[in-house]
Amino acid sequence: MSVSYHFFATAPKGLEALLADELRELGAQDVRETRAGVGFTGSMETGYRACLWSRLASRILLTLVSFQAESYEALYSGVQILDWREHLAEGGTLAVDATCLQSPLPHSQYAALKVKDAIVDQLRDLREERPSVDLERPSIRVHVHSQRDQVTLSLDLSGESLHRRGYREEQVLAPMKENLAAAVLLRAGWPAIAAEGGALIDPMCGSGTLPIEAALMAGDIAPGLTRTYFGFLGWKGHNAALWQNLLDEAEGRRRAGVSHLPPLFGFDADGTAVRAAQANARRAGLEPVVFFEKRDLAALELPPSVTTGTGLLITNPPYGERLGEVNQLRTLYAQLGERLKIGFSGWKAAVFTGNPELAKNMGLRARRKNSLFNGALPCQLLHFEIEPHWFFGASLSEESLSASKTPGAEMFANRIRKNLRTLGRWAKQNGIFCYRLYDADMPEYAVAVDVYGDWVHVQEYAPPASVDARQAGIRLREIRSVLPDVLQVPVSNVVYKIRQKQKGSGQYEKLGQRQEQIKVGEGGCSFLVNLTDYLDTGLFLDHRLTRQMIAELARGRHFLNLFAYTGSATVYAAKGGAASTTTVDMSRTYLEWARKNMAANGFTGPQHTYLQEDCLKWLERCRQRFDLIFLDPPTFSNSKSMTGSFDIQRDHVRLLRETAKLLQPGGVLIFSNNNRRFKMDQEALSELRIEDITAKTLPRDFERNPRIHNCWKIQKR
């Protein structure tokens, strides 16, 4: 008769009921749901099977002992009840985790330390050997749970979270954890659909987690089969023969199941994401049976190979939680709804979102909803039947057509046409390919429209609270409806964002991870810009004349670019014949971007230096001297890479003094910032000759917004 053990399976919030059902199917007894997971009993085979087959659990803990402890000394003594020689072999390593809830032991890290000390001290006394600590992959990982005065010591059989299946090394921004993906698939009814031969499509698949988990589920493939590490493998109590039998059984089931998989597809507009998904499928042994392809949502349709009349479209689209691009996402959700209505009749759809309001733009009534959590973020899984009686609202194309016919849309279109006749002609005559075409010329249409060659970058200024959100949404739809046609560019070449007041490094904060750079020209130079991933694109158009001035001043001079961003000023200095350039920025990403911009223009020699530094600290210790300096700091910064904060109004006197120290006799400092209320304290900087050159550096396309930046030419007296 086999020995029965007590186990506890931890799980993300909201998955407890699903996990309890799964453990029962795996042979668990006395299953008890709690807020943190599920307790159960069973043989060691049951515990091993849970580690190998659970799609939902985070960890499987084997209870070793429970005792009372109202002090850390009592905790230390209680740990030594066990003979740890039975668990940790000589030369083995150890790690201890702890959770303390409503406990007289309030500090979980200290509790873990006391438990570690108790184990190490016992083994040192008995073996004259002190075990080492390994926080990553120890021989055994001990878990301490202290609630009120009750302490439970457990062995973490999983070793590391079971959501780490072992196949996902390639990932993209904000990936969904594998056990959450499995829960979403279970709630969506995927096992039953797969059993009937139904296909699965994820039109925004990212790194492929949902399609890969769907394949594991439909193919009867153990999610732990690709893992190389479990917490019990280095445990002295490990039954290697039992574990091998379970692996052999799982491998046989995998061979049988993979040959009967239904069609599975993942699409994404981001080529980097698709390549990551393909690599993950390859590691999971599913490359031949899960198909990934780069495809825009606008091109979503049933693949020709799908002949079944039903299936599941499931996806985890962007939520707009921190991107500030809700209006752009409304169009994405509306487009998803339109594609479903057109080509997926009879299918089921499941959309997992942290912003259910966005899903209302799909024009589909949800048949039911499940509440789940993505980390700490409350989310909903919305279930749809793709049948006409669930449809509501106009289609996206109908909305666009309707919006394009409104008086407001025609008024906006006429203004864009007028600006094209003036600014567009001016830009063409002067060889300018990147310029601001429209900047809230009509206050009710508060957007900035920038042309980048064949692309258009639209930033909607966040409306004040006094403006009705619905009315703002209508105006944005009117803009969207006419802009591609008036400018004669494809809809896919128009990028929309919301421009809000930024703090710290917010102006450079990442919005996405498409990593698609396009090459544009300016002043005989080439620049790489990214229109999708950041609020700013990599090329400040309002500094066009400032860059030209730098080129004119640079010949034969040693040039320094501080707070360099993507190095566009460095490119102009090099083009102007600078003897050397030094480019300084805190961001590795932007320094690499600067290198690429320089290389795109043929400037790659050793005279061009790039330094990843906190500019303020670097100024304090720099002893080098320069003939020409461009200083364009942020208005405010409290970047985690800095100590303290920086405020341009408060700190500009100290900053300018430190920078001016680096000037050679007769050297020139060009200082710019975009603080609209900035006031230069010339009295405090009497040792410097300061000339306001803002008006000289304001390009024609920014004359409507003269406070876009201020600029100063500074020299030592």
pLDDT at residue 226 greater than cutoff 90: yes
Whether 96 and 142 have beta carbons less than 8 Å apart is answered as: yes
More confident residue, 513 or 674: 674
pLDDT at residue 310 greater than cutoff 50: yes
Range 687-709 average pLDDT: 95
Write down the mean pLDDT value for the chain. 90
Q: What is the pLDDT of residue 506?
A: 41
Taking CA 657 as the corner, what is the angle to CA 573 and CA 578, rounded to the nearest 5 degrees? Answer: 15
Taking CA 116 as the corner, what is the angle to CA 111 and CA 118, rounded to the nearest 5 degrees? Answer: 95
pLDDT at residue 647 greater than cutoff 90: yes
CATH topology assigned to domain 518-716 = Rossmann fold (3.40.50)
Residue ranges per domain, the chain? 5-156, 178-221+254-391, 398-500, 518-716
How do residues 326-364 score in pLDDT, each as one tens digit?
666 888 898 899 899 988 999 999 999 998 888 888 889
In CATH terms, are 178-221+254-391 and 518-716 the same topology? yes
Closest by Cα among 99, 92, 138 to 115 = 99
How do residues 372-409 score in pLDDT, each as one tens digit?
999 888 999 999 999 988 887 656 566 666 666 788 89
Contacts of 407 (CB under 8 A, 6+ apart): none
Q: CATH says 398-500 is which class?
A: alpha beta
How do residues 102-151 score in pLDDT, each as one tens digit?
888 888 999 999 999 999 999 999 988 888 999 989 999 999 999 988 99
Range 594-605 average pLDDT: 96
Whether 479 and 399 have beta carbons less than 8 Å apart is answered as: no
pLDDT band at 170 (very low <50, low <70, confident <90, very high): low
pLDDT band at 305 (very low <50, low <70, confident <90, very high): confident
CATH topology assigned to domain 178-221+254-391 = Rossmann fold (3.40.50)
Structurally, at CATH architecture level, domain 5-156 sits in 2-Layer Sandwich (3.30)
How many residues in the chain? 717
**In a 10 Å sphere around its CB, with 0-12 CB exposed, 13-18 middle and 19+ buried, how is residue 47 labelled?**
buried
Whether 372 and 379 have beta carbons less than 8 Å apart is answered as: yes
* Cα–Cα distance measured from residue 49 to residue 222, given in angstroms and rounded to the nearest whole number: 9
* pTM score above 0.75: no
**Distance (Å) of CA 233 to CA 93, 107, 238:** 12, 30, 6
DSSP 8-state code for residue 640: T
Whether 664 and 715 have beta carbons less than 8 Å apart is answered as: no
pLDDT at residue 179 greater than cutoff 90: yes
pLDDT at residue 323 greater than cutoff 50: no
Q: What is the pLDDT of residue 594?
A: 97
